[in-house]
Amino acid sequence: MADAPVDTVASVPVAVVGAGPAGLMLAHRLGRAGVGTIVLDTRTRREIETTQRAGILEADVARDLVETGVSDRILRDGHEHEGTELRFGGRAHRIHFKALVGESVWLYPQTDVFIDLADARERDGGTVHFGVRDTEVLDITTDAPRVRYTAADGSRHEIRARYVVGADGSRSMCRDLVPEERRTRYGREYPFAWFGILAEAPMSAPELIYAHSEHGFALISQRTEAVQRMYFQCGPGESVDAWSDDRIWETLQARVAGEDGFRLKEGPVVEKTVLRFRSFVQEPMRWGSMVLAGDAAHTVPPTGARGLNLAMHDVKVLADVLLRALGREGGAALDAYQPRALQRVWRAQNFSYWMTRLLHTAPGASAFDLRRQLGELDNVVGTRAGRTYLSEQYTGWPASAQD
């Protein structure tokens, strides 16, 4: 296959496998610096646009979308949140990020980030091929890696590049190209999943609510004035078919119920998905001429809303080192990528794990476990150090001097 005839051969400095936010933002950043890319994805644009993902952006990520010229739609359609609510013991506790650490976050769904980036690529004349198949990444231990693929119309193509970026998500095939004996995979599974819904209902709260209850975790998020996004902890093997609208609302209401009489505003459930998640990191993030970015190299549980933000940080650093590597510094410039990216990755791994454990009820949790958890939650909301810790981690870490 590696040398079978193809219909076209294209040459470009950087080939990108994966047209999610990480791949497209990298292409956008490189494009602004005059470096050409070709981006490939096995999914169609429509498939990516209609897959619900998380919705919280760090202020820095939101600023970068606007300031690098992707789009300023976030300023109109996004919602700036200066804090979030932790609910436990049947009571609400607001964490005021802005007052504590001077930052806020933006509620702006990842699907909208993707749409903005895909539109920006089109507007700027960038090349993105959706719906491709049989993608092969070849010769990554040389200075002339290649990517071969079959386009949606069945024609075969080859891209000759100087670097290949694997931004192909949590089921990455690029990361498997790092030889088994030279890579390390770190991770853990969780004994629960999230049941995610979209409901046609008014907003129940102006900001997100992360709720702990003896029945398990729930998260109340929003999409628009008329459509809401919510999640509740469920078993990893749960089937959506077993859940009627009534059962879903009963479960959600029980998890947010409290002495203040708070109730969610209900409406028809228009989408249901069970989301399994895990913590995962693969090192190294680079092998020869191939570099991994975003979920391909690391995934986090969704509880801390870190995933997309982390991917965006990766590609900011990666665009910088790739530009240097393609310029006078040469390939050695890429050595800086992993250490710069990984520091934030492990911070985010810790925070996502911590927040997941803080809020979920493990199967078989004892009365002691539950009380201890309430003690920890009380420490978080009841001490300035606790509130500040959560705020700093949730709004993202300031970029280090070199970033």
Q: Residue 175 half-sphere exposure, CB side, CA atoms within 13 Å?
A: 24
Name the one range near ligand PHB by CB under 6 A: 277-285, 302-310, 366-374, 381-389: 302-310
Q: Minimal CA–CA distance to 311: which of 64, 73, 43? A: 64
Instruction: Please tell me whether residue 294 binds ligand PHB under the rule CB under 6 A.
Output: no
The one among 17, 305, 334, 348 contacting ligand PHB by CB under 6 A: 305
Which residue lies nearer to ligand PHB by CB, 130 or 277? 277
Least Å distance between CB 217 and ligand PHB? 11
Instruction: Please tell me whether residue 55 binds ligand PHB under the rule CB under 6 A.
Output: yes
Q: Which tokens hold the place of 242?
A: 């077993």
Instruction: Please tell me whether residue 302 binds ligand PHB under the rule CB under 6 A.
Output: yes
The footprint of ligand PHB on residues 193-252 (CB under 6 A) is: 208, 219, 221, 229
Name the 3-class secondary structure at 207: coil
Name the one range near ligand PHB by CB under 6 A: 53-61, 111-119, 180-188, 285-293: 53-61
Which residue lies nearer to ligand PHB by CB, 97 or 149? 97
Q: Minimal CA–CA distance to 218: which of 307, 304, 303, 110? A: 303
For 245-306, the DSSP string reads HHHHHHHHHHHH--TT---PPP--EEEEEEE--EEEEEE-SEETTEEE-GGGTEE--GGG--
Name the one range near ligand PHB by CB under 6 A: 243-251, 278-286, 299-307, 369-377: 299-307
Least Å distance between CB 143 and ligand PHB? 41
Q: How far apart are CA 163 and CA 142, in angstroms?
A: 10
Which residue lies nearer to ligand PHB by CB, 94 or 160? 94
Contact of 284 with 186, CB cutoff 8 Å: no
Least Å distance between CB 382 and ligand PHB? 22
Instruction: Please tell me whether residue 146 binds ligand PHB under the rule CB under 6 A.
Output: no
Q: Which tokens hold the place of 218?
A: 């729930």
Name the one range near ligand PHB by CB under 6 A: 51-59, 163-171, 315-323, 341-349: 51-59
Q: How far apart are CA 216 and CA 57, in angstroms?
A: 25
Strands 8-11 and 156-160: parallel
Q: Minimal CA–CA distance to 59: which of 41, 40, 82? A: 82
The one among 303, 309, 338, 395 contacting ligand PHB by CB under 6 A: 303
Which residue lies nearer to ligand PHB by CB, 54 or 205? 54
Residues of this chain that interact with ligand PHB (CB under 6 A) are 54-56, 208, 219, 221, 229, 302-303, 305
